[in-house]
Amino acid sequence: MDLPALPDLLVEPIVRAALLEDLGRAGDITSNAVVPVDARTVAEMVTRQPGVIAGTAVAAMAFRLIDPALEVTVAKGDGTPVEPGDVVMRIAGAARSVLAAERVALNLICRLSGIATATAALVAAARPHGHARIVCTRKTTPGLRALEKHAVRAGGGSNHRFGLDDAVLIKDNHVAVAGGVRPALERARANVGHLVKIEIEVDTLAQLDEALAAGADVVMLDNMGPAMLKEAVARVGGRALTEASGRINLETVGPVAASGVDLISVGWITHSAPILDLGLDIAL
């Protein structure tokens, strides 16, 4: 998979903060007390269940920030399907350093691989029914958004906006405060640059018609059933991108994709996906 790497400048502060949280004021007092200072080891990060890997660079950084002399070799890159027992990464060097970084590295790669695995399952479930892309939302762990959105891409999904500043998304509360769909869209169009896309959430076909008449670039079809979604897509007729949203899961994504929507946004792949279980085993 041609997956762009996350820049170290973005990742390092996140990993460093996690290490500082874990090491506390005195460092790994267990390893320092039990493991001889000159002990060397080779450890393998191994999968315990099937899934899709994400976060190898993040995990590797945890080891290297603890000890730049550690030799880290990635055997299964981000976006790679894995089975139980697969070796994802090998780490060689000072045993104390390996043990000090172990939990932070595992916490991050397990979390991100869980997101990639959940995304891949949704992508596979939707694929036979239409052309829709699975996209994530802003329902991410505070401080980890860039990593979690990277994990979505590793699982074959696509990213929605990264924050409040990269696109206009007019939600139901915005519509209520602005006084309606048309006023909200007109104010948005008058106050943002010509390169900024404007999306609006609609709950009914009447709201959809109003949004199309006012020139929305993207319409979020919120909590509509498959039949209503199909009618909505037909009304849009290619004049705007269509996005289905609201309580979509593995059981419902097929009929939603079959409606012909362009995008399916799913919050649970980032806020509720279970981790992918990986462990660190001492191999030597």
Residues annotated catalytic, as ranges: 103, 139, 171, 201, 222
Q: Which residues pair with 278 in a beta bridge?
A: 47
Produce one character per residue of 193-225: b if its CB has 16 or more CB atoms within 10 Å, e if not. eeeeebbbbbeeeebbebbbebebbbbbbbebe
Both tokens of 64, joined, read 């290297």
Q: Which residues make Cβ contacts (< 8 Å) with residue 10, sequence separation at least 6?
A: 146
Q: Which residues make Cβ contacts (< 8 Å) with residue 57, sequence separation at least 6?
A: 5, 6, 11, 74, 78
Q: Please report the DSSP string for 32-83 in residue order.
A: HHHS-TT-EEEEEEEESS-EE---HHHHHHHHHHH-TT-EEEESS-TT-EE-
Helix (H) / strand (E) element for 175: namely helix 172-178
